Amino acid sequence: MTTPDDTAQDRDSAPKESDIARIRRYQGILNDFSRMAGETRELNALLQVACVQAARGIGIGHSKVMRYRLTKGDLLVEAGIGWKPGVVGRLALGADIASPAGRSLQSRQPVRIDDMPSSTEFRYLHVLQEHGIVSLLNVPVSLDGVVWGVLEVDSATPRHFSEDDVTFLGTMANMLGLALRDKLRERQLTETMAKASADLEQQKMLMRELAHRDKNDFQMIMSILLLQKNKQQDADAIRGFKHALDRVAAISMAHDQLTMRPDRGTLDVAAYLGALCGNLGHRGDGVAIETQFDKAELSHERAVSLGLITNELVTNALKYAFPNGSKGTVRVEFTADPATGQACLTVADNGAGMGPMRPGGSGLQLVDALARQIGANVDRPPTDQGTTFQVCFLIVR
């Protein structure tokens, strides 16, 4: 161990030309290491660079970086030069004060030993004996105020490590700690992003599975309704089952739109109403459905209500606005003003116009009920020809 007299002698000695040359070499190596630490991307490569530069600076054949493992209470050799196979990446050393590296870790101070075989304070570790190490110097590597591990240089020939050596190696350890902090943060960020990506992919997979099950459920409901409809003899009952089938189909289409945007949780109103009207357009022989939709986002629940309203109004127009096979047009518009948050659905036909409500008819009653669910007002403005309905509401509630 270094004595106080040794330290005083190192401090009080007049600088010699060899000392100045050594300090300049230290400065050059530290400068190189700071540059290389910034350029090295991989953590293991950074630790290996530190070992190489430390050995090069001290002028020694062995060096190693050891990481303290909290869960195991030891020091794992993460990188090093001059060691036989099986040491780097595998050998774990004690972290107690009888271990040179352990004392540096525990005390957060440099530990230098000139004559390791003769030391009574430290265990002469088998790995040191096997490599003929007789002198060594340890310095702690700190990370955000916590000792991360130890940087050590080892000499196979007797050597006294001076204060300049301690300062050089300590400075390199401090630089290594700063570089480690950045690399570990990058690794943590990468791992966090990878986990988030994996979680998102799993969520998408679950959403796809849920959508698949929902689609199967809708198909089962449709099959049951069709089976029951085919058993009916009463015209009103058959008509009621057809209405129910139309409404289930409209809701199913909303689920289809939602599964196309699993990361959003909202529906594109224009895409949803476009698909809905495209499907309805095949029902009116000689009746065209014209559409114009502004872009807007709605929650699934509100979009379904709007789709059912559209389904009811367009279906009514196709059934009753063009009697006796007359031709015409049903126009469906959706406007949304982002400045005011006001949205309006307009369904207008140029047919014969709508007479009094048919006894027992439930379509417009359903429209009123659905409109209340989305906070909408249903108006029937006067028109010279045909019938017009307007359903206006606030997009944001």
157: domain CATH number is 3.30.450.40
The answer to whether 78 and 108 have CB atoms below 8 angstroms apart is no
pLDDT at 210: 57
**What are the phi and psi torsion angles at 237 (to 5°)?**
-65, -40
Q: Which domain holds residue 339?
A: 246-394
213 pLDDT tier (thresholds 50, 70, 90): low
* Structural domain includes residue 377: yes
41 pLDDT tier (thresholds 50, 70, 90): confident
37 pLDDT tier (thresholds 50, 70, 90): confident
262 pLDDT tier (thresholds 50, 70, 90): low
175 and 257 housed in the same domain: no
* Structural domain includes residue 235: no
Q: Which of 207, 209, 227, 208 is nearest to 219 (CA)?
A: 227
pLDDT at 151: 97
pLDDT at 207: 56
Instruction: Sheet with 377-379: list strands edge to edge.
Output: 287-293, 328-337, 342-349, 387-394, 377-379
* Structural domain includes residue 56: yes
| Region 214-222 average pLDDT | 66
* Structural domain includes residue 217: no
- Domain limit, last residue, from 191, 206, 234: 191
Task: Please check the confidence at residue 397 and state whether its pLDDT lies above 60.
Answer: no
155 and 251 housed in the same domain: no
pLDDT at 259: 58
185 and 254 housed in the same domain: no
* Structural domain includes residue 92: yes
| Region 72-93 average pLDDT | 95
192 pLDDT tier (thresholds 50, 70, 90): confident
| Region 289-295 average pLDDT | 93
**Residue 366 has which token pair?**
């359903």
On average, the pLDDT of the chain sits at 83
- Domain limit, last residue, from 191, 206, 235: 191
- Domain limit, last residue, from 149, 173, 191: 191
| Region 242-259 average pLDDT | 68
* Structural domain includes residue 273: yes
Q: Which of 154, 82, 159 is nearest to 115 (CA)?
A: 159
pLDDT at 260: 55
pLDDT at 109: 94
48 and 164 housed in the same domain: yes
For residue 255, what is the domain's CATH number?
3.30.565.10
Residue 27 C-alpha from the chain's centroid: 42
**How many domains, in total, are found in the chain?**
2
179 and 272 housed in the same domain: no
384 and 263 housed in the same domain: yes
Q: How far apart are CA 179 and CA 291, in angstroms?
A: 61
113 and 13 housed in the same domain: yes
* Structural domain includes residue 337: yes
| Region 335-345 average pLDDT | 92
* Structural domain includes residue 181: yes
**Residue 87 has which token pair?**
């040491």
**What are the phi and psi torsion angles at 387 (to 5°)?**
-135, 140
pLDDT at 257: 61
Q: How far apart are CA 313 and CA 217, in angstroms?
A: 26
187 and 280 housed in the same domain: no
3 state SS of 199: helix
Task: Please check the confidence at residue 242 and state whether its pLDDT lies above 60.
Answer: yes
